[in-house]
Structure 1
Amino acid sequence: MYVNNQLYQFFIEKTWSLTEEWYTSIDKSNTAGIYATENPSVIELLKQQNYEFHVKFSEVFNKEKEAFLFDFKSWILKVASDPEHTQTPIQFIIKEFHRTQEQYLKLAKLFIERDKDNYSIQEIHQIYHSITVTMNHVIEWFTKEFNKNAEKRLHAQQELILELSTPVIALNRNVALLPLVGEIDTTRAKILLEKTLEECNRLGINVLLLDLSGVVIIDTMVAQQIFQLIDALSLIGVKTHLSGIRPEVAQTAIQLGLKFDKVSVNSTLAKSIKLAYI
């Protein structure tokens, strides 16, 4: 990194003006998310974040690389997880990083031209190189953290969807219903096992009506996990009534050698309900 205290001071003195210049030049007709907002409080937040970025980035001319990156980390982590930024498409965020880089290159050029006789071609190259290389590193770093946060949100949403797709519905103080619909893969089957046991224990029920009439296909792994659930439920004192098993699902269970001696099997949910209330 190219350390130059005069250049650092020159940049620091321009931080707020850089922010105002940057914000007023945003083309709101060709952007989205936080950059297109008209909310005064969000605009103020955006400007503050941009100003803090300038303060952090100016240190590229004042600190060695390791210290510079250490100090920059807090800004990266904070903004990459900021709700307003996470709702902004990444291509627009990268676009603003590049526009900020253009500001820095113009500012560096202005600084050099004021006293160009004191700077060799090599030093001038070092100044421009420090700006572009550091900005590229910051963009890559920010994008990595941004994507990491996006993956966490997606995973949390998927888990929520899976939990909602395995609802244990209390019918009375002793009986609950678990209607399964759609495809059951190994991930959903795992959630099914965990959440069903938790809910049955929380509700304090004695009987669970497990209806599979909405399930068309179950592979061997999932069939085994469903029977593991039935076994686990019996260990906590819950009797399972199984209903709505399609012929192809029954065939899979038989081929696996799965036994139905620990579970009451009925052709329809109505029959399971009737038996549960006898």
Structure 2
Amino acid sequence: MHRNQGLYNYLNEHSWQITEDWYKLVNDEDSESIYSTTDPEIIQSLKEQNQDYFQHLHKLFIEKEEDFFRDFKIWSEELAKDQKHLKTPVQYVVREFMNSQEVYMKYLKEYFSLNKDNVALDQFLSWIDLVRRVVNLSIYIYIEEANRNTLRQLIAQKEIINELSSPVILLRKKIALLPLIGDIDTARAKIILENTLSQCADLRIEDLCIDLSGVAIIDTMVAHEIFHLIQALKLIGVRSTLCGIRPEIAQTAIQLGLDFSHIRTTATLSQALDRIIAD
């Protein structure tokens, strides 16, 4: 019922004008949005991309519905990975999908108005419904890809932060410092353990000062992970010294019944280095 060669031909004939009409609706002053550009080449690229979208949409009126939606979904998933649009705030991209729909509907109405004798109202309404479904599908696919892209960025940033938050710093030959900062959860503790062991082995460290002055809270879990780290370091031949335990942390450790008696501790990093050198 939805297929109509005459409508397909009409849309193809006016395809570039549809794109020009769409671009007239673009009104964006946000520098984060690709649509705010004044670069003629980028503007032309946006128009060509929009035109490609309309060319695919036109096929709706000459193909079987299930065939169209299958192929359009595959094509849209590739389109959604375009980095220029993924860097643009989601609301602006969704807005342009809606603008495209508005312009497209205008041309559907014009064709129906010119061909009322040959096009039934039910058929026209089916076109409207299908175009809305297509645009909604486009929006859904884009938002889904934008969400995946955001998650990928967050994971990458978290990995970088975790790596930077547990660096083994070489102080002098075979002596290094591990400054721990902020909260330590199970996931971060695992990363600290893996990174520290790897870096100490690569640098051939014999003595490691673990500075806790930047750790705001210590509980049984954190203490357990520190003990685990020290034991693992001992297995690869690295002696550990805890330094920088703040008074409130020491008080909390006593209240929790945490036993640091079997671990070498000092108040400051300089004291730790003096003791290491003296040994």
TM over 0.5: yes
Q: Does 1:51 align with 2:51?
A: yes
Q: Secondary structure at the match of 1:212?
A: strand
User: How far did residue 36 of structure 1 move?
Assistant: 0.1
For residues 169 and 5 of structure 1, do their structure 2 counterparts lie closer, same or farther at Cα, with a shift above 3 Å needed? farther
Q: Does 1:95 align with 2:95?
A: yes
Report what 2:118 is aligned to: 118
CA contact (8 A) 1:179 1:210 kept: yes
Q: One-letter code of the match for 1:106?
A: K
Range moving further from structure 2, 244-253 or 192-201: 244-253
Report what 2:144 is aligned to: 144
For residues 256 and 30 of structure 1, do their structure 2 counterparts lie closer, same or farther at Cα, with a shift above 3 Å needed? same
User: How far did residue 142 of structure 1 move?
Assistant: 1.4
Task: List runs of 5+ in structure 1 lacking aligned partners.
Answer: none
Q: Secondary structure at the match of 2:245?
A: coil
Report what 1:179 is aligned to: 179
Range moving further from structure 2, 150-159 or 91-100: 150-159
Report what 2:156 is aligned to: 156
Structure 1 residues 46-76: Cα deviation after superposition (integer angstroms, max 9, x where no partner): 2232122112222222333443334334543
1:184-263, aligned counterparts within 5 Å? 184-250=184-250, 253=253, 255=256, 258=259, 260-261=261-262, 263=263
Range moving further from structure 2, 55-64 or 135-144: 55-64
Report what 1:69 is aligned to: 69
CA–CA distance in structure 2, aligned partners of residues 23 and 272 of structure 1: 67
For residues 47 and 219 of structure 1, do their structure 2 counterparts lie closer, same or farther at Cα, with a shift above 3 Å needed? farther
Task: List runs of 5+ in structure 2 lacking aligned partners.
Answer: none
CA contact (8 A) 2:220 2:258 kept: no
Report what 1:6 is aligned to: 6
> Aligned residues, how many?
277
For residues 234 and 21 of structure 1, do their structure 2 counterparts lie closer, same or farther at Cα, with a shift above 3 Å needed? same
Q: TM-score, normalised by structure 2?
A: 0.87
Range moving further from structure 2, 142-151 or 70-79: 70-79
Q: TM-score, normalised by structure 1?
A: 0.87
